[in-house]
Structure 1
Amino acid sequence: MNKHIVSAICGCLFIVNGFSQDKNIEELLNEIEQNNTELKGYQSFVESQQLENRSNNNLPDPQLSGFYLPFGDNATGNYTEYQISQSFEFPTVYAARGKWNESKSQQLASAYANKRLEVLLKAKNTLLELAFLQKRKAIETERKTQSKQVFDQIQRLFDAEQVGILDLNKAKIAWIQEQFVVEQIESDIRILLSKLKTLNGGNAIDGVTSGIALPIEVGTVESLWQEKLAKDPLLQELKVNETASLQNVKLEKNKALPNVALGYNYQGVSGSNYSGFYGGLSIPLWSSKNKVKAAEASYEYQQSNTQVVTTSLYTQFQETFNRYELKLEKYYEYQTTMRNLNSEQLLFKAYMLGEYSFMDYYIELQFYRNASDKMHQMEKELQLLQAQLLKHQL
């Protein structure tokens, strides 16, 4: 069957029990983004780096120097000299460094965007895990209730000497196992809620109770990849790194120009003095040696790295997309087949009416439950794969 038809048919099949009607998954993720301490700390780091980068483009401090020479024969009086000067790099350097700082700010912004996606994807996966655990808890709680009813019935039959001790023990073990499964799920839910609380800056996540439908249509592989190229921060960071590297080449070329110093100088003895303007020029024979070549080599590396990383990411993306499409098609086939199986409720009614012995009922029940659990597991895996594919949309 055509994969797109499968996607369209299955689009309405996924119901994730775990998000309240007044708080959908986007609202919960927005709350986590606002409260997450790691993101807040990274924002402060970005701000500090941006301020430090701007400070590197300041002028050097003015210099004031003076001489007072009272010792010696002083035939013409004490000698006095002072000078105030301001040095600076060639003016075009500041413009080039300013553009370089803008590129570095974009790098920091891209790094923050990557960190944000990291945190939000982790939070989304945790929310999905929590939703499916809550769904499974409801299922296992119902199974536990049925197991208790079966055990009570076997106990009555045993008391009436209509069944043996083996059937009674098997029924009790089945009930105990279901109790343990529910308790284990409750423990896992508490662990996930604790993780969400940490991600939410120490604030408990509220409103994770009822269900909301999440679409599973992700589009074609090429359209989704083009969307990722335009929006994915990791891919955008590669372009930003190229731009910053190219701007660094321009900066190093400008830094090869002479530095300049201007000032005022005064010299004098009693009754006689001289004053005027001071000017200086540095000749960068050694300080800029090989720096332009190094910057150009770095730029060439960034261009090559962009191509290599983009190709690698595209390969990984295709693998994830193909796994998603294959699992989606198999999920559809699995669900179609499951419709032809007797449900647990029908099996339970048949058993209570005496149509099945305990062992026949238990074997049929385990077969159905295993099939049902497999389908729910596939459903969860599909949602997690989708979260990975649509990470750039967070």
Structure 2
Amino acid sequence: MKLAAISVLCLLSAIITAQTSIPQLLDSIEKNNYTLKSLRAQTDATIVGNNIGLNPANPQVEYIYQWGDTEQIGNKQEFHVRQSFDFPTAYRYRKQMTNSLNEKAERDYLNAYNVVMLDAQFYILKLIYQNAMLEEYAVRLEHAKQMAEAFHIKFDEGDANMLERNKADINLLNAQNALARLESEQALLLQQLQGINGGQILRFSMEGWPDAIMPLDFEQWFKENSDIIPEIQSRQKELSASRYNEKLSKAMSLPKLTGGYSSESGTVDKFRGVNVGLSIPLWENKNTVKQAKLNSIAKENELADAQLQLYHGLKALYGRASNMQAVATQYRNSLMALSNTDLLLVALENGQITILEYMMELSIYYEAIENALNAELEFQLNLAQMKAFQIN
């Protein structure tokens, strides 16, 4: 039993002892995940769509042929080429707005990428936990087998009664069923991880927790990282685009220019020359500037709310992770110092306690081991969620 305790305590350590690493697994998922491939294509399509409309309007070409009523009048031909232009500053503001929207699309992709990678991390951490539990329960099963065999021998020799033998058999059955349940859960997690990996099989051989570094001070950590969080960057770019749209709306309220070439020829006379036009902005863009300003105010408030919600959400995760780290450390230290499984076994063999008392006392120790692993898992999951934006 002492070997079982040492085995579990090794699994509680924060060192990866196997060949496969989390970055290697995430690299594979990044290459094979169909959601990310779809999101990448959709982002590229959004960027291409944002660039539509940056160039001037298409030129207009017009040819007119008219028949005269008499031979003296003859026929008449006209040819016109016209090109319209927005006020020059409109093109600059439209380009700046498009750049902001393109950057927003990239930040939205990064945010979605981080969500997929976080899901993958959750499955990986749960599999590490599952492997630790499987190793622990394999030791318990072996011990239950030895105990059942020992009580069958004692029963045959008359040193144990049927009730004690049956309890040992039930204990063995419980250990077998618990291990089977864990193996089933592990298979399910591997299937889910394979699904995230685009159906490609992953060789998962991790048996220890990854390095997990908690920030010493949340306020300082948030101050240093808040501006690189894709969700916040996306809203900042959206606000920037909205402000450029204000300027664009003002520019679009200015007169539009039209220039071109015209020619006209008849039986006798021929005319050629240029034509210049100017639109008078009276009604078409009414209230567009006001709408753009109000939209910017809305985006400012959305950004402030997102920053506030993110701050409190991350702070809650930080507090939860800190608590679970302390709990896991406390369990780890207690298990190393207070393990009394060997004493319980000696007491059982000497008849000082019954098999029922032995199993009850042992269940307390087993519960402590599982609580330690659960606390470590909760710590790892909360820390991973808190640092999800740092995956990319």
Residues 320-352 of structure 1 deviation map (CA, whole Å, 9 limit, x = unaligned): 222222333333333333334335466446545
State whether residues 36 and 199 of structure 1, in contact with CA within 8 Å, keep that contact through their aligned partners in structure 2. yes
**1:275 maps to what in 2?**
272
Q: Which moved more, 1:306-315 or 1:132-141?
A: 306-315
Q: 1:349 to 1:261 in 2, by over 3 A?
A: farther
State whether residues 20 and 208 of structure 1, in contact with CA within 8 Å, keep that contact through their aligned partners in structure 2. no
Q: Which moved more, 1:136-145 or 1:297-306?
A: 297-306
Q: 1:83 to 1:20 in 2, by over 3 A?
A: farther
Q: 1:258 to 1:343 in 2, by over 3 A?
A: farther
Q: 1:21 to 1:326 in 2, by over 3 A?
A: closer
> Counterpart of 1:273 in structure 2: which amino acid?
K
Q: 1:203 to 1:352 in 2, by over 3 A?
A: farther
Cα distance in 2 between the residues matched to 1:75 and 1:208: 98
Q: 1:63 to 1:312 in 2, by over 3 A?
A: same
**2:361 maps to what in 1?**
364
Structure 1: stretches of 5+ with no match in the other structure: 1-11
TM-score, normalization by structure 2: 0.91
> Counterpart of 1:135 in structure 2: which amino acid?
A
Equivalence map 1:296-311=2 (5 Å): 296-311=293-308
Structure 2: stretches of 5+ with no match in the other structure: 1-9
Q: Secondary structure at the match of 1:339?
A: helix
**2:48 maps to what in 1?**
51
**1:104 maps to what in 2?**
101
Cα distance in 2 between the residues matched to 1:345 and 1:255: 85
**1:332 maps to what in 2?**
329
**1:5 maps to what in 2?**
none
**2:5 maps to what in 1?**
none
Cα distance in 2 between the residues matched to 1:169 and 1:74: 124
Cα distance in 2 between the residues matched to 1:124 and 1:303: 33
Q: Which moved more, 1:351-360 or 1:121-130?
A: 351-360
Structure 2 residue 125 is the aligned partner of structure 1 residue 128: yes
- How far the C-alpha of 1:364 sits from its partner, in A, is 1.3
Q: Secondary structure at the match of 1:271?
A: coil
- How far the C-alpha of 1:224 sits from its partner, in A, is 1.5
Fraction of identical pairs, as percent: 27
Residues 85-117 of structure 1 deviation map (CA, whole Å, 9 limit, x = unaligned): 222222221111111100001110110110011
Structure 2 residue 164 is the aligned partner of structure 1 residue 167: yes
> Counterpart of 1:335 in structure 2: which amino acid?
R
Q: Secondary structure at the match of 1:15?
A: coil
**2:338 maps to what in 1?**
341
Q: Secondary structure at the match of 2:338?
A: coil
- How far the C-alpha of 1:283 sits from its partner, in A, is 1.9
Which of these residues, 237, 252, 258, is aligned with residue 255 of structure 1? 252
- How far the C-alpha of 1:14 sits from its partner, in A, is 4.6
Q: Which moved more, 1:321-330 or 1:125-134?
A: 321-330
Structure 2 residue 85 is the aligned partner of structure 1 residue 88: yes
Q: Secondary structure at the match of 2:275?
A: strand
State whether residues 93 and 248 of structure 2, in contact with CA within 8 Å, keep that contact through their aligned partners in structure 1. yes
State whether residues 19 and 206 of structure 2, in contact with CA within 8 Å, keep that contact through their aligned partners in structure 1. no
- How far the C-alpha of 1:45 sits from its partner, in A, is 0.9
Q: 1:385 to 1:343 in 2, by over 3 A?
A: farther
Structure 2 residue 72 is the aligned partner of structure 1 residue 75: yes
Q: Which moved more, 1:164-173 or 1:127-136?
A: 164-173
Q: 1:346 to 1:387 in 2, by over 3 A?
A: farther
**1:42 maps to what in 2?**
39
> RMSD across aligned C-alpha pairs, in angstroms?
2.2
TM-score, normalization by structure 1: 0.90
Cα distance in 2 between the residues matched to 1:350 and 1:213: 39
